Amino acid sequence: MRNVRNMSYEEIAEDLGLSIGTVKSRINRAREALRELMGEEFRG
Protein backbone atom coordinates (compact mmCIF):
# COMPACT_ATOMS: atom_id res chain seq x y z
CA MET A 1 0.00 0.00 0.00
CA ARG A 2 2.83 2.36 0.88
CA ASN A 3 4.91 1.73 -2.23
CA VAL A 4 2.34 0.54 -4.77
CA ARG A 5 -0.53 2.92 -3.96
CA ASN A 6 1.69 5.69 -2.55
CA MET A 7 -0.42 5.87 0.61
CA SER A 8 0.71 7.62 3.78
CA TYR A 9 1.23 5.70 7.00
CA GLU A 10 -1.85 7.46 8.36
CA GLU A 11 -4.01 6.34 5.42
CA ILE A 12 -2.82 2.76 5.72
CA ALA A 13 -3.45 2.73 9.48
CA GLU A 14 -6.96 4.04 8.99
CA ASP A 15 -7.78 1.58 6.19
CA LEU A 16 -6.50 -1.40 8.18
CA GLY A 17 -7.70 -0.28 11.60
CA LEU A 18 -4.17 -0.29 13.04
CA SER A 19 -2.02 2.23 14.87
CA ILE A 20 0.56 4.16 12.88
CA GLY A 21 3.31 2.55 14.95
CA THR A 22 2.09 -0.92 14.00
CA VAL A 23 1.99 0.02 10.32
CA LYS A 24 5.53 1.42 10.42
CA SER A 25 6.81 -1.63 12.28
CA ARG A 26 5.23 -4.10 9.86
CA ILE A 27 6.50 -2.21 6.81
CA ASN A 28 9.99 -2.14 8.28
CA ARG A 29 9.92 -5.89 8.99
CA ALA A 30 8.67 -6.56 5.46
CA ARG A 31 11.48 -4.45 3.97
CA GLU A 32 14.06 -6.31 6.04
CA ALA A 33 12.65 -9.68 4.93
CA LEU A 34 12.77 -8.55 1.29
CA ARG A 35 16.40 -7.44 1.67
CA GLU A 36 17.26 -10.87 3.05
CA LEU A 37 15.58 -12.59 0.12
CA MET A 38 17.22 -10.34 -2.47
CA GLY A 39 20.73 -10.77 -1.12
CA GLU A 40 23.68 -8.60 -0.26
CA GLU A 41 23.86 -6.62 -3.53
CA PHE A 42 20.60 -4.84 -2.64
CA ARG A 43 21.63 -3.65 0.80
CA GLY A 44 21.97 0.10 1.12
pLDDT at 20: 97
Tell me how crowded residue 8 is: count the other CB atoms within 10 A of its CB. 12
Please state, for a pLDDT cut of 70, what percent of the chain lies above it. 91
Instruction: Work out the end-to-end distance of the chain between its first and last CA atoms, rounded to an integer number of angstroms.
Output: 22
Residue 35 vs residue 4, higher pLDDT? 35
Closest Cα to residue 2, out of 29, 23, 33, 22? 23
H or E element in which residue 14 lies = helix 9-16
pTM value surpassing 0.85 = no
Residue 43: is its pLDDT beyond 70? no
